[in-house]
Amino acid sequence: MEVERFNLGGRKKNDLASAKPGGGNFLGEIWELGFEIGNLKSEREMEIRHERSVILAEAKG
């Protein structure tokens, strides 16, 4: 499998190897931010589901 390479600061970095958490590089930071955003989105979706269930329970009496 051919791996796409990016030039970051004059050094070539393998995008698969670079995009690991804790890598301390640009692609690794983007990878970590993506997970943080995904976690926040999931938390908010769970809050919305809970709010809906509370509203439905109150409506039913």
**Most confident among 2-6, 23-27, 48-52 (mean pLDDT):** 48-52
Does the global pTM surpass 0.75? no
pLDDT digits (tens, 9 = 90+) for 33-45: 888 999 999 999 9
State the Cα–Cα distance between residues 14 and 21, nearest whole angstrom: 14
Name the residue ranges covered by the structural domains of the chain.
Answer: 5-60
Which of these, 21, 15, 19, 20, lies nearest to 2 by C-alpha position? 15
